[in-house]
Amino acid sequence: MWSAMRHCARDLEERAVYIRADTYREGLGQAARRLGIEASDIVVSDPTSYAARRLVRQLGVQVEPSRGFVTSERDFADWAASRGRKRLLLEDFYRAARRRCDVLMDGDEPTGGRWNFDAENRLSPPKGERTLGLPEPWWPTEDDIDEEVRADLSAAVGAGEIRLVGAAGPRRFAVTRAEALHVLEDFVRHRLSDFGPYEDAVMRDDWVMAHSLLSVPMNLGLLDPMEAIEAVIEQWDGGDAGLSSVEGFIRQVMGWRDYVWHLYWHLGEDYVTRSNALDARTALPEWWTDLRGDEVTASCLSSTLTDVRERGWAHHIPRLMILGNWALQQGYEPAETTEWFTRVFVDAYPWVMAANVVGMALYADGGTMATKPYAAGGAYINRMTNYCKGCAYRPTERTGERGCPFTAGYWAFLDRTRPQLQGNHRMAQPLRGLDRLADLDEAIDGVRRRGTDPP
Ligand code: FAD
Ligand code: SF4
């Protein structure tokens, strides 16, 4: 963020007055004095958190609607009101947005006759390969501004003002408009056609796979989501990308990204702190908070923590099905887990955390967001990743030396949360499976004995 702000100021040349202050209030005061204007002459885009929105309203500046999303807050409110008592489902929101914006539509019908190409988009990693074999992504080159940011961060650490977590690796993410356009072009040209099929797959030696790396520039406001959508449609129009990839990407951006943004406001400011439907009370252990992947034996978790330590990034399956799944199984406290996700990811903001972490990953809202918990054992991880092959554990075993901590953890989780989940008809089958396990006590005992130690 510092790098982005300072690059923005440099790009704007004399049109920018760049102010460094300890608080927004002080910064705006300084700006008004420097420019000889009143607070009421200042126009701001509506900020992206409750606290900042409160502040700009107190200051008496002019507030314009937030930018950077496809669906406006007014359109979302109209859509939500039109639902009456029906659930605010992603699928319905996404279809309404496609219709309203006329994206991938043939009249009133979705292009290709289907809204959803998930069946084609759930491939496992290619067998016998270590990577998808795609060209190395385009990377930004650090400059004097990045150097200055690093020096300022080191000084703040030295002065005890902040504590950082993670490795000081090279800056991988776009922080200028020009860099954002490079990343978009590179993605569309080299990775888009594999995006759909391998969207949910994970490979240990290929951290990017076919993902776009666009969350950082989009969240920083350097790239409008509609520009990204238009670029992928153009590639498809030219015959250089399949519809399943193009639709899959648009679903993420126009669907998921906008959906979690609007839910942040819709669910309310106390959503994170009031949600703990599964009574999750475990404090996050230090090996987890400090991203000490090297202390973890479980190959999937060890690699993911290390990836996050190295780059502050992992794609959505490691976030949801490895980190989120582990936090869910272990009963990590939801507000603390949300705070942790916000601290360790480069693209994190409060608005993106609420629905993704509390609702999706932890099922802490008891089913407002997801119809059932995203809990999974080693079988899922073995199918969608290539971690299990080199692991000391076996995904099919739940007890003993080689018992997979995710598999044992899955059954222990179901056993612990049975009272809260038994009314959910989508959990009926897994809960029946629990009753059929002859070695359930042994599996639970193994989980209990490990406690919060690294698996
Ligand atoms: P791609 O896989 O190329 O997807 C394209 C774009 O779709 C992304 O750039 C992103 O803008 C958008 N997108 C897709 N899914 C989501 C989603 N669920 N929520 C919001 N945007 C989405 N995304 C963030 O931007 N910041 C976060 O802090 C963040 N935390 C997450 C935590 C959890 C537990 C989960 C399950 C998901 C989280 N996501 C977050 C969503 C998603 O994982 C990232 O947006 C994505 O991995 C970023 O990489 P990419 O740009 O290469 O995305
Ligand atoms: Fe992860 Fe279990 Fe597979 Fe090991 S065996 S990589 S712990 S899922």
Same domain, 419 and 291: yes
Quick: pLDDT tens for 51-70. 999 999 998 899 999 999 99
* Ligand 1 binding pocket includes 235 (Cβ within 6 Å): no
- pLDDT of 104-155, one tens digit each? 999 999 999 999 988 888 899 999 999 999 999 999 999 999 999 999 999 9
Q: Is ligand 1 within 6 A of the CB of residue 356?
A: yes
* The domain boundary residue, chosen from 236, 251, 266: 266
In-domain check, residue 157? no
Cβ-defined contacts of 148-152 (< 8 Å, 24+): 148/6, 149/2, 149/3, 149/6, 152/2
Ligand 2, from 391, 394, 401, 450: best to mutate by most atoms within 8 Å of Cβ? 391
Structural domains in the chain (count)? 3
427 pLDDT higher than 90: yes
Of all protein residues, whose CA lies closest to atom 44 belonging to ligand 1? 316
**Tens of pLDDT, residues 91-108:** 999 999 999 999 999 999
DSSP-derived pairing of the beta strands 62-64 and 43-45: parallel
Q: Report, as an integer, the average pLDDT of 416-444.
A: 94
The residues near 234 (Cβ < 8 Å, ≥ 6 apart) are 188
First to last CA, the chain: 34
**Sign of the alpha-carbon torsion through 265, 44, 251, 355:** negative
Residues 102 and 12 in one domain: no
Ligand 1 within 6 A of 324 CB?
yes
Q: What is the span of the domain harbouring residue 423? A: 271-450
State the ligand closest to the CA atom of 302: 2
Q: Which atom of ligand 2 is nearest to the CA of 299?
A: 6
Any idea what DSSP says for residue 395?
T
The answer to whether residue 420 is domain-embedded is: yes
Instruction: Say yes or no: CB of residue 253 within 6 Å of ligand 1.
Output: yes
Structure confidence by residue, pLDDT tens digits, 359-393 = 999 999 999 888 999 999 999 999 999 999 989 99
pLDDT at 85 over 90: no
105-106/109-110 β-pairing:
antiparallel
What is the CATH classification number for the domain harbouring 298? 1.10.579.10
Last residue of a domain, one of 266, 289, 313: 266
Same domain, 438 and 403: yes
Query: What band does 409 get if pLDDT is binned at 50, 70 and 90?
Result: very high
440 and 376 belong to one structural domain: yes
Under DSSP, the state recorded for 65 is P
- Is ligand 1 within 6 A of the CB of residue 308? no
Kindly state whether residues 9 and 131 are assigned to the same domain.
no
| Domain endpoint, select from 246, 266, 286 | 266
- Which is the closest atom of ligand 1 to the Cα of 187? 3
With pLDDT > 90 as the criterion, what percentage of the chain qualifies?
89
The residues facing 432 across adjacent strands are none
Residue 367 lies in a domain: yes
Q: Encoding tokens for residue 144?
A: 């004097």
Tell how far CA 387 is from the center of its chain: 21
Domain-located, residue 83: no
Q: In this predicted structure, what is the pLDDT of residue 438? A: 92
**Other beta carbons within 10 Å of 284:** 17
The alpha carbon of 316 and the centre of ligand 1 are apart by a number of angstroms equal to 6
* Domain shared by 109 and 248, yes or no: yes
Quick one: 441 and 333 in the same domain?
yes
pLDDT at 241 over 90: no
437 shares a domain with 347: yes
What's the whole-number mean pLDDT along residues 21-44? 88
**Are 310 and 258 part of one and the same domain?**
no
The CA 196 to ligand 1 mean position distance, Å, reads: 15
| Whole-angstrom distance, CA of residue 61 vs CA of residue 66 | 14
* Distance, CA of 95 to CA of 75 (rounded, Å): 13
- Give me the long-range contacts of 106-115 (CB less than 8 A, separation at least 24): 111/243, 111/247, 112/243, 112/247, 115/91, 115/247
Task: Give pLDDT, residue 119.
Answer: 82
Mean pLDDT of the residues in the chain: 95
Residue 40: the pLDDT is 87
- The atom of ligand 1 lying closest to the CA of 225 is 11
In tens, the pLDDT along 153-202 reads: 999 999 999 999 999 899 999 999 999 999 999 999 999 999 999 999 99
7: in domain = yes
Which residues have CB under 6 Å of ligand 2?
A: 298-300, 378, 381-382, 387-388, 391, 393-395, 404-406
pLDDT of 39 above 90: no
The CA distance from 182 to 137, in Å, is 10
Report the CATH number at residue 190: 1.25.40.80
Q: Does 127 fall in a domain?
A: yes
Q: Residue 126 and residue 308: Cα distance in Å, rounded?
A: 24
Same domain, 293 and 254: no
Is 73 among the domain residues? Answer: no
| Residue 29 confidence (pLDDT) above 90 | no
Q: Do 251 and 105 have their domain in common? A: yes
H or E segment and range at residue 448: helix 440-450
Decide whether any atom of ligand 1 lies within 6 Å of the 319 Cβ.
yes
* Structure confidence at residue 240 as a pLDDT band (50, 70, 90): confident
Radius of gyration of the chain (CA): 23
- Examine residue 160 and state whether it is found in any structural domain, yes or no: no
Whose CA is closest to 60, among 18, 15, 29, 22? 29
275 and 254, same structural domain?
no
CB of 224 closer than 6 angstroms to any ligand 1 atom: no
Nearest to 266, CA basis, from 415, 369, 119, 146: 369
Look at residue 87 and tell me whether its pLDDT is greater than 90: no
Q: Which two tokens stand for residue 403?
A: 């018992």
How far is Cα of residue 1 from the mean position of the Cα atoms in its chain? 17
**pLDDT-based confidence at 32, cuts 50/70/90?**
confident
Which pair of tokens denotes residue 174?
Answer: 């776009």
Give the Å distance between the CA of 164 and the centre of ligand 2: 29
pLDDT for 452 beyond 90: yes
Alpha carbon of 374 to ligand 2 centroid (Å) = 17
Question: Is a pLDDT exceeding 90 seen at residue 207?
Answer: yes
Q: What is the pLDDT of residues 342-359, one digit of tens each?
A: 999 999 999 999 999 999
Q: What is the mean pLDDT of residues 281-293?
A: 97
Distance 68 CA to ligand 1 centre (A): 15
